[in-house]
Amino acid sequence: MTTLLESYAAVAGEGVVNHLCRLSAPLKGMQVVHVNSTRIGGGVAEILTKLVPLKRELGIDARWEVITGEADFYRCTKSFHNALQGSPVNVSNALFRVFEETNARNAERLRPILEEADVVFIHDPQPVPLLKLCPNRKGKWVWRCHIDISHPYRPVWKRLRNFVSAYDASVFSLAAFSQSLPHPQYLIAPSIDPLSEKNIELPAAEIKAVCDRFGLDTDRPIMLQVSRFDRFKDPLGVIQSYRLAKTFVPTLQLVLAGGGATDDPEGETVLEEVRAARADDPDIHILALPADAHRTINALQRAADIVLQKSIKEGFGLTVTEGMWKGKPVIGGDTGGIRLQVINHHTGFLVNTPEGAALRTRYLLQHRDKLQEMGQKAREFVRENFLVTRQLRENLALMLVLDRQNEDRIQLSVG
Q: How far is the CB of 139 from ligand UDP (least distance, A)?
A: 27
With a CB cutoff of 8 Å and minimum separation 6, the contacts of 337 are 148, 173, 174, 189, 190, 314, 315, 316, 317, 320
Q: How far is the CB of 297 from ligand UDP (least distance, A)?
A: 5
Q: How far is the CB of 408 from ligand UDP (least distance, A)?
A: 35
DSSP state of 259: -
Helical segments of 261-367, H only: 267-278, 294-303, 318-325, 338-341, 354-366
CA atoms within 13 Å, Cβ hemisphere of 41: 20
Rounded to whole angstroms, how far apart are CA atoms 131 and 106? 12
Q: How far is the CB of 289 from ligand UDP (least distance, A)?
A: 5
Q: How far is the CB of 35 from ligand UDP (least distance, A)?
A: 16
Q: Is 279 helix (H, G, I), strand (E, B) or coil?
A: coil
Residue (118 or 124) nearer to ligand UDP, CB? 124
Residue (221 or 267) nearer to ligand UDP, CB? 267
Dihedral of the alpha carbons of 288, 290, 292, 298, in degrees to the nearest 10: -20
Residue (283 or 322) nearer to ligand UDP, CB? 322
Which residue type, as a one-letter code, is found at position 10? Answer: A
Residues binding ligand UDP (CB under 6 A): 42-43, 46, 198, 226-228, 258-259, 289, 294, 297, 316-319, 322
Residue (293 or 399) nearer to ligand UDP, CB? 293
First to last CA, the chain: 48
Q: How far is the CB of 292 from ligand UDP (least distance, A)?
A: 8
Rounded to whole angstroms, how far apart are CA atoms 407 and 353? 51
Residue (147 or 398) nearer to ligand UDP, CB? 147
Dihedral of the alpha carbons of 291, 294, 295, 297, in degrees to the nearest 10: 90
* Angle ∠(212,45,117) on CA atoms, nearest 5: 160
Q: How far is the CB of 191 from ligand UDP (least distance, A)?
A: 11
Residue (43 or 139) nearer to ligand UDP, CB? 43
